[in-house]
Amino acid sequence: QVQLVESGGGLVQSGGSLRLSCAASGRTFSIYTMGWFRQAPGKEREFVAAISQSGLSTSYADSGQGRSTISRDNANNTVYLQMNSLKPEDTAVYYCAASLTFLSGDRSRYGFWGQGTQVTVSS
């Protein structure tokens, strides 16, 4: 099992940047693909990015391609999401999640979730 706690959300102006962090408990962090998802009001939770267990492979949704970078530090059980050139449509609660499926973008493949951190982008 793994417990996840996100941080780093907040209010930012359009065009700004944020770096989200997700701290994981447990000794088995490195066996999981880690993903970031987001959910805007009235919308389904959607995939943002994923990173493989080793950190050598990544996957991004089209909406974040070129603006987001996912990374991980297995020594410190932490995964990050750097978001640049933020837009008002990026406003959502951002969740990190852990999966045993390699580099999955399917939220049903993720068995562990954090509580989320709010990101609000003002125009």
pLDDT of residue 19: 98
Angle at 87 between CA 85 and CA 90, to 5 degrees: 110
Distance CA 70, CA 35 (A): 8
- What CA–CA distance (Å, rounded) separates 53 from 43? 29
Can you give the pLDDT at residue 12? 98
Backbone angles phi, psi at 61, to 5 degrees: -75, 155
Render each residue's pLDDT in the chain as its tens digit; 123 residues.
899 999 999 999 999 999 999 999 977 899 999 999 999 999 999 999 999 999 999 999 987 778 999 999 999 999 999 999 999 999 999 999 999 999 999 999 999 999 999 999 999
Handedness of CA 78, 71, 101, 47 (dihedral sign): positive
pLDDT at residue number 66: 86
Tokens matching residue 9:
């959300």
pLDDT of residue 1: 83
